[in-house]
Amino acid sequence: MQTGPLIFLHVPKTAGSTLHRIIRRHYRLAELYHTDQQPDGWLAFQQWPEAKRADIRLLMGHVEMGAAAFLPRSAQYFTMLRDPVARAISYYGHARRIREHYCYEAIRRRQMSLAEFANSGIDVMMDNGQTRMLAGVLYTVPYGELTPDHLQRARQNLETFVLVGLTERFDESLLLMRQLFGWRNIFYAERNVSQHRLSVDEAARVAVTAVNQYDQALVAYGRELFANQWATLGSEAVLHRFQRLNRLLRPLTYYGGEAARLLTNG
């Protein structure tokens, strides 16, 4: 069960929007800080008085390793990882669809394909973004200049996490969070899922794969860590019961989380 504060290191396009909704059910407003939903959110948080930061039980957002230094009490990290090619495809689709994304104008103006975007160097999240965040070098290492040492650092950091979840095994990841963090209501309906599936040719897949070799290795290691934790704490019977009930509750969860909470928690 959770004792000290938690940091959800949210890698973009790893089902974080859905997870955020679940997280918010379990913490009071004063205990929770979402860096991506505040003006200059991460910089603003760093400037808070220490006494105010001490009240935070869960910090979440697109932060990287090192965020724990700004919490007065010892914090534990958790994250979600995703297949690098699938994540990059989803990220590109999001960037070309959402006007607020900082690459939207460049993609539209230059009519950039997925392969061109991957090779353009304009967004480091396309260049082993998961390794960058887990190694704590998201913006400090230029595009294309990660090294095996950065991968090793990211792997070592993962080993310290209380949980490494997987987008491809989202339900199992939620059940582990419920057990580790004491969360009660983890029922959900998917949010921020694109209805516009991109048609991706082989050339695009090759281009994306080429700039995500370290992420391929990192996610493979994350899968090993997850498998070991699930083997120790997980239950296939509990998983199947949860999935059946979640299907039944999905309409209530989507349109009214409070209704689902009342039905499941009494």
Encode pLDDT of 202-217 as tens digits. 989 999 999 999 999 9
Mean pLDDT (whole number) for 170-194: 89
Quick one: pLDDT at residue 261? Answer: 46
Higher pLDDT residue, 115 or 3? Answer: 115
Please give the radius of gyration of the chain, using alpha carbons only, rounded to the nearest integer: 19
Q: How far apart are CA 118 and CA 253, in angstroms?
A: 36
Look at residue 240 and tell me whether its pLDDT is greater than 70: yes
Q: What local confidence, expressed as pLDDT, does residue 266 receive?
A: 33
**Residue 26 vs residue 38, higher pLDDT:** 26
Structure confidence at residue 193 as a pLDDT band (50, 70, 90): low
Average pLDDT for the chain: 90
- Residue 151 pLDDT > 80: yes
| Helical (H) or strand (E) element with 174 | helix 170-181
Check residue 178 and give its pLDDT. 97
Tens-digit pLDDT profile for residues 38-77: 778 899 999 999 999 999 999 999 999 999 999 988 999 9
> What's residue 262's pLDDT?
42
Extract the tokens encoding 163: 């949980």
Q: What is the mean pLDDT of residues 17-41?
A: 91
Q: What is the DSSP string of 71-132?
A: SSS--EEEEEE--HHHHHHHHHHHHHH-TTSTTHHHHHHHT--HHHHHHH-S-GGGTTHHHH
Predicted TM-score (pTM) of the model is 0.90
Whether the Cβ atoms of residue 252 and residue 259 lie closer than 8 Å to each other: yes
Question: Residue 139: in which H helix or E strand, if any?
Answer: none
Q: What is the pLDDT of residue 255?
A: 53
pLDDT band with cut points at 50, 70 and 90 for residue 250: confident
| Selection from 158, 164, 186, 167 nearest residue 249 by Cα | 186
Cα–Cα distance for residue pair 214/216, rounded to 1 Å? 5
CB 188 within 8 A of CB 253: yes
Which pair of structure tokens corresponds to residue 260? 């689902």
Instruction: Out of 37-51, 116-130, 138-152, pick the least confident.
Output: 37-51
Element (H, E) at 204: helix 202-210
Structural contact between residues 31 and 56, judged by C-beta atoms closer than 8 angstroms:
yes
Band of the pLDDT at 254, cuts 50, 70, 90? low
pLDDT of residue 41: 87
Q: State the average pLDDT over residues 126-140.
A: 96
